[in-house]
Amino acid sequence: MAKRTKQHLRTSRVDSGRNAIRTARNYRVSSHPDEMSYTAIKRFRENTLGVSQKLFASLLNVAVQTVHAWEQNRCKPSGSVLRLLQMAQENPDQLEDLIEAARHD
């Protein structure tokens, strides 16, 4: 398989972002996202996405220490992060290009 160029990866990120926006527009949003347990967050990161805490933090634009604190049940994600996690759980394939691009940064 040919290596992807940085430009292609940036384009993939933009396309993934646009797909996420389209999904969000068609998404029925409750007033408050459901909470996720610390074990559910870790399970989603490890088993569904297969990414490290560092990469997961990068995808969510939070500090690695924040992800670590969530997974140790020392604090809980904010509402906006919970909404992103909820959308990602329902459509994990939409993150594939973002994960691939982040691995090459």
For the residues of 62-83, what is the DSSP string, one character each? S-HHHHHHHHTTSS---HHHHH
User: pTM of whole model > 0.75?
Assistant: no
Q: Mean pLDDT: which of 7-11, 19-23, 39-43, 86-90 is highest?
A: 39-43
Query: Is position 1 within any domain?
Result: no
**Per-residue pLDDT tens over the stretch 31-63:** 677 889 999 999 999 999 999 999 999 999 999
What are the structure tokens assigned to 38, written together? 């610390």
Query: Is position 97 within any domain?
Result: yes
In terms of residue numbers, what domain contains 52?
6-103
Let me know: does 100 contact 12? Beta carbons within 8 Å: yes
Query: Is position 91 within any domain?
Result: yes
Total of domains in the chain: 1
Let me know: does 90 contact 61? Beta carbons within 8 Å: no
The long-range contacts involving 24-27, CB below 8 angstroms and separated by at least 24 positions, are 24/87, 27/87
Let me know: does 26 contact 74? Beta carbons within 8 Å: no
* pLDDT (0 to 100) of residue 103: 81
